Structures are given as structure tokens and as C-alpha cells.
Homo-oligomer: A and B are copies of this chain.
Amino acid sequence: MWWKRMKLGERESMESTNRKTTIKHIAEAAGVHPSTVSRALNGLQESRIPQETVDRIHKAAAELQYEPNPWAQSLRTKRAMMIGLAIPRFTDYVLAQMFESAQIRATEFGYDTLTAGAEVGGKGNAAIKGLMDRRTDGLILATAKIHDEYLAEIERSGVPFVLLNRRSGAYPAVTGDDELGGYLATRHLIEQGHHRIGHISGPLTVSTADSRARGYRRAIEEADLPIGPELMQEGRFDARSAGDAAEALLSLPERPTAIFAVNDISALAAMATARQRGLAVPEDVAVVGYNDSEVSSLLPIPLTSVRVPLLDMGSAAVDLLLALMNGKPVESIVKVPELIPRESSLFSRS
């Protein structure tokens, strides 16, 4: 019942006999100098240590169950072997997906991932500040609301960073082609024969939302279809605001027959609103979402959605960051989205 008895300090003292083995213990066991142990363990081919000695050292290390002390290593080498990931929320499907793949990728390269998130009340800077205080080797910033001035400040501090799912100036970034995604979604609805197509957007100050809206406009204008502020309702990526937006769209005198929503949650809300008003999907109103989240295909009426290669984006961000840290030249990466047609929009009017 150790967890009922011991304080940190006590545990330490108890283990005073049982301490973690250090490089010095190995040196003693193998009859060499600590520095030799370090070189042998790190496989330095500079100072050629005879195989026999190397083996002896490895054996001693294994026997003593040596685990290098990362603090000492970092202090000396000035490398933490950690990258920081700033993410507003983890419960968001899109972000979680990118986070997970980034984490996996980082692990492949021996880097651990320190997360800072939950930018409660727009305190994203505090989160990033925290990561920098930890002296991570690099930063992946997926938070939408960083002031550009703050990015400049990070740049000045010399910590390599990349933006994820967000773009700003010429800073290296990994994003999806949201404009294209918006275009594809809208184009699809047009091809199904719709003439009045509404859009539930996200906050237009957020670049992803803005781009999708621009794609929507382009498709509409290209097809010479009606467009106007009443057909573009601004939401906040969440169900409640999207529900209101859908309400507004569906109660227009000239009701749209199709809705393109900025994300799947908003699309879901639109479908629910439609149902409440006695409108059938897709017969009365077709719906297209964005992100192709897990549930989209599982719904009783499966949701047409734009699939963004979120996993690719996460790992690409890590690759970009690592390149940056190695001083290689880097270019921002744009991932191409793809429309996944499903029942919610498959009712041809032509």
C-alpha cells in the first residue's frame, strides 16, 4: 500500500540505497571513465573505442538498468527532444485527428510531445509561452487566434515553429485547401441541379471559414446563380449557432433547396433543424458538411462531406518542423480535399 504511506521525500530517501544508476556507476562497473561510457553508449565513431570495451559497457548498462537522465542530457546538449503542440481544444474532431497523427510522427523520430491547450478566454499566448518556457525544440501552432505580432515575437526568440491548419504571412504552414473544398462542395450541389444554395459559414475572421466561404462564392458566381447576404449565414462552428443559421435560411421567403455547412457539426444542426420544420433530407433540402468526421457516414442519413487529409496534415507539420530544425529549406504545404458524396445530397433535381 505504498500510495497510502509515502511522501515524495520519503520515497527518495528510501531509495537512497536504490538510486537510479548513472553513467558513473556504469563507468565503475566497467572499469572505465564516465566519458568513455558516454561515448560508447552514444556510438560515437570519432574516438574509436574497441568493440570489446563497448560490449563491456553495454553489458554493465543493461545489468544496472541504466536509463539516461534526460534533464542532464538536455542541459548539456541544449536539446530537449520534445516538440510543443499548441492546440485550442482536444475534443474537436479535426484538431484531435491532427494532433494524434502529429504525435505518432514525432514519436517515430524520437521526439516527445508536450501539449498546451485549452485557450480559455483567448489566452492562447499563455499556452505558447508555457511551451517556450519548457524550451521545446520546436513548436506546432494550431491555435487560430494568435496575434501576428506574437508570431513575430516567437520568430525573434529563435524557436522554430510551423503553423497547422492556419496561415499567416509567409510563415511555414500546413493547411488544407479550404477554398477548393468550399468550391467542390458547392459545385457538387450545383451539379445535383440546385439553384438556390445557402451557406452556413464559420466566423469569417478565421481563415479556414473565410476560405470555404470564398470557394462557395466562386462556384455560385461561376454558375451565375443567385447569391446574397441572406444566403450566407455566419455561425461559430458549433451546433447552436448553426441551428440558428439554418433556421434563418430555411425560413427565407424563397427557401434554398440546398445548404453547404462549414463543418459537419453545423451540417448536423442544419439537418436537425430541417427535420423539425418537417423538411426531408435530401428531398426537400440537401446538405453538405465539411471534414468528413467519423459520424458522417454513420448517420441514418449519411452526410455528404468534404474529406480533408487531417492525418496527413498532422504528420506533415512534424516533417516540416523537423526540416526547419535541421536548417533545411522548407515550403508551406497545402493538402487537397476531396468530396465524399453520400445520401444527404443525392437527390437529383435536374
Contact = CB atoms under 8 A, between A and B. Distances in A.
A69 B135 contact: yes
Contacts of A252: none
Contact of A118 (B90, B103, B325, B327): B103
Interface in A152-175: 155, 158, 160, 170-172
Nearest to A160: B3
A198 to B, nearest CB: 18
Given A15-B158, A104-B120, A155-B2, A298 B325 contact: no
7 contacts: A71-B74, A82-B114, A90-B90, A104-B118, A112-B114, A239-B297, A268-B298
B96 A91 contact: yes
A145 interface: no
B327 A300 contact: no
A71 B80 contact: yes
A43 interface: no
B74 A298 contact: no
Nearest to A138: B8
Interface string A248-276: 00000000000000000100110110110
Interface string A281-315: 10000000000001101111110000000000000
Among A79, A132, A135, max chain B CB count under 10 A is at: A135
B80 A90 contact: no
A103 B68 CA distance: 27
Given A103-B117, A298-B269, A158 B11 contact: yes
Nearest to A74: B71
Counted per complex, copies of this chain come to 2
Contacts of A72: 71, 75
A330 interface: yes
Given A265-B298, A268-B298, A301-B300, A8 B325 contact: yes
Contact of A327 (B5, B68, B103, B104): B5
B100 A6 contact: no
A230 interface: no
A67 interface: yes
Interface string A1-26: 11111111011100100000000000
Given A67-B133, A130-B112, A327-B10, A93 B90 contact: no
Contact of A298 (B90, B91, B134, B239): B239
A80 B135 CA distance: 13
Interface string A54-74: 000000000000011111101
A291 to B, nearest CB: 12
Shortest 8 CB-CB contacts between residues of A and residues of B: A7-B327, A71-B75, A71-B74, A275-B300, A90-B100, A268-B298, A91-B96, A104-B118
A326 B9 CA distance: 9
Contact of A133 (B70, B78, B268, B297): B70
Nearest to A4: B329
